[in-house]
Amino acid sequence: MQAAVLAAGLVPVSAGIAGIWDTAGLLRLASVPAAAESHLSYLSGLLLAIGLAFWSTVPAIERKTARVRLLALLVAIGGLARALSLVATGVPPLPMLGGLAMELAVTPLLALWQARIARQAGRSR
């Protein structure tokens, strides 16, 4: 479980850093208007923070159910917004679809797995 959270956390951490460092490059654009750059940089910072927060659950993950659930909820809400955008504006590039899979499938599954481990740890005490 801990290795899976560390591996999955690489996605938001690396995407967050990439978005902060080079928003236009991440989006494969020549340039991004200043307002969009500012907003995307902020969102990239949030993405980085979410990844780091997931990593912070790794020591004693069986005791961090509330944190894992809150983070998973935040990610899933973001995924629902991305899915709405997909319906409204069309299919985004493959990396964005990968993000959608992480947001609406992988992260909720990790939260369910963590809850199971937490229940098992509670019974073994």
Regarding pTM above 0.85, the answer is yes
Mean pLDDT by 10 residues, the chain (125 residues): 97 94 76 83 96 97 97 98 97 92 98 97 76
Cα distances from 82 to residues 53, 94, 112, 116, in angstroms, run 21, 13, 22, 28
- Give the Cα separation of 101 and 125 in Å (integer): 35
pLDDT at 63: 96
pLDDT at 97: 95
Q: Is the dihedral of CA 88, 111, 42, 100 positive or negative?
A: negative
pLDDT at 105: 98
Residues 24 and 30: beta-carbon distance below 8 Å: yes
Domain range summary for the chain, segments of one domain joined by +: 2-123
- Give the Cα separation of 19 and 49 in Å (integer): 13
| Other residues' Cβ atoms within 10 Å of the Cβ of residue 13 | 19
Residue 111: HSE in the Cβ half-sphere, 13 Å Cα cutoff: 18
